[in-house]
Amino acid sequence: MTKSTQHRSSSFSLRYRIARAFTVAIVLGYAFLGVRSSQGQTAKGAKETTLYAFTGGSDGGSPSAGLIEDAKGNFYGTTFAGGTSNLGTVFKISKAGKETVLYSFTGAPDGEHPTSNLLLDKAGNLYGANYEGGASGFGAIFKLDNAGKESLLYSFGSGTDGEYPGSGLIEDAAGNLYGTTGYGGKSGNGTVFKISKSGKETILHSFTGKDGQYPFSTLLRDSAGNSYGTTSMGGSSGNGTVFKMTNKGKVTVLHNFAGGKDGANPYAGLVRDAKGNFYGTTYGGGAGCDGYACGTVFKLTAKNKETVLHAFALQDGHYPDFGTLVLDAAGNLWGTTYAGGSADMGIVFKVSTSGKETIVYNFTGGADEGFPVAGLIEDKAGNLYGTTEGNPPNTYGTVFKLKP
């Protein structure tokens, strides 16, 4: 089965039709049983503001990626659809909510359908990944300079160089870019790649299945050049992995998800605390949820011991998706779930290091639209910002601000 397309546009192609465990039967099952999540422990005083609502037209529609912020407080992101060719956009939004479309993708040989967070370099250039498009239709890495000129650094082919890049990009001191492709590579199970400033691609690792399959997470890089991430499937039980990759491309599986209470199918990346512990989410698995695997927040120690900090249930949101968690100075973890909450349209949550979950905000399907796929960013004042995907063709997503 594939992930539910109940709230997705039919044009949302491969990313929502391939290798997404669960939930058509699950969502239909909820509807049949009349089940809706209750509000649960909800934070008092949280205020949500919709900074911008996309129309699905030339301004873009249905953002699947999160935001980045520049030094002036402007936000940048991508929409999966909309724009002049309905193939997605790169946009800028001021803190006052004024949106500017910086670029509309036109399709092969240009890219199409960007799904990942952008990277902003010191010169003001933006870099990102198109899940599809490019010269061969299997995705591309693009650069958008501060004058609005777009160029493709690399187009993925239909083979060992990787296919369908779904992760955000990270940069090293020399300006090389690193990311993952969900498919392709020697075994078709996905890759970790490096792309130089001149557009030369190097495959650092091709997943075999035993060490993971279908990585979509943005990598986390340490000072020694090691990279850490997740694969959504594969590993010893087929339920996904947490992995470490050296700067020479050697991969070690740090944890194999077993499914069930342990969690399954991590799509998001990792955050790390000062003690070397990793934190992340799984889309499925966990205890409870009336037998429906609703996902988890997990901790993985520096000695590779995994603990489920929180298992989502019908009462508190479910299916944390592609959004990497935010770790605040007090050690709390902040994130989103795609569904669940009082209106079953997703939530913003906080989980303490002891595993106590608080629903910070329930999306209602009103002006806030709902269905957040991506994660959050935090400003210096502690405000959170993110995107919702909306419910095409009725609504096309938002950029929101949340004051906890």
- Cα-only R_g, the chain: 19
Residue in the block written with tokens 């890089």: 221
Is a pLDDT exceeding 80 seen at residue 72?
yes
Q: State both tokens at 167.
A: 């992760």
Residue 288: what pLDDT?
A: 67
* 300-331 pLDDT per residue, tens: 999 999 999 999 987 789 999 999 999 999 99
For range 165-171, the mean pLDDT: 95
Please classify residue 104 by burial: count the beta carbons closer than 10 Å to its beta carbon, then call 0-12 exposed, 13-18 middle and 19+ buried. Answer: buried
Mean pLDDT of the chain: 88
Taking the C-alpha atoms of residue 111 and residue 104, their distance in angstroms, rounded to an integer, is 10
Residue 32: what pLDDT?
A: 33
Is a pLDDT exceeding 90 seen at residue 36?
no
* 228-247 pLDDT per residue, tens: 999 999 999 999 999 999 99
pLDDT band with cut points at 50, 70 and 90 for residue 287 = confident
Is a pLDDT exceeding 80 seen at residue 11?
no
Q: State both tokens at 83.
A: 């724009």
Q: Where are the beta strands (DSSP E) in 62-114?
A: 68-69, 75-79, 89-93, 99-104, 111-114
What is the pTM for the complete model shown? Answer: 0.90
Residue 293 half-sphere exposure toward CB, CA atoms < 13 A:
20
Q: How many CB atoms lie within 10 A of CB 201?
A: 18
Tell me if the bond preceding 393 is cis, omega within 30° of 0: yes
* 45-54 pLDDT per residue, tens: 789 999 999 9
Contact yes or no for 157/182 (Cβ under 8 A) = no
Dihedrals φ, ψ of 301, to 5°? -75, 170
Collapse the DSSP code of 270 into the 3-class scheme (helix H, G, I; strand E, B; otherwise coil) and give the result.
coil
Contact yes or no for 68/75 (Cβ under 8 A) = yes
Contact yes or no for 204/193 (Cβ under 8 A) = yes
Residue 314: what pLDDT?
A: 77
pLDDT band with cut points at 50, 70 and 90 for residue 293 = confident
Residue 315: what pLDDT?
A: 75
pLDDT band with cut points at 50, 70 and 90 for residue 147 = very high
Residue 132 is given by DSSP the state E
Share of the chain above pLDDT 70, in %: 89
Angle at 54 between CA 348 and CA 36, to 5 degrees: 40
* 199-221 pLDDT per residue, tens: 999 999 999 999 999 999 999 99
Q: State both tokens at 155.
A: 């187009």
Q: State both tokens at 31.
A: 């509807």
For range 121-127, the mean pLDDT: 94
CA distances from 179 to 14, 299, 355, 365, 402 (A): 19, 23, 30, 33, 29
More confident residue, 45 or 382: 382
Collapse the DSSP code of 74 into the 3-class scheme (helix H, G, I; strand E, B; otherwise coil) and give the result.
coil
Longest dimension (CA), the chain: 55
Residue 379: what pLDDT?
A: 93
Of the given ranges (247-251, 264-268, 273-277, 311-315), which has the lowest mean pLDDT? 311-315
Share of the chain above pLDDT 90, in %: 83
For range 288-292, the mean pLDDT: 70
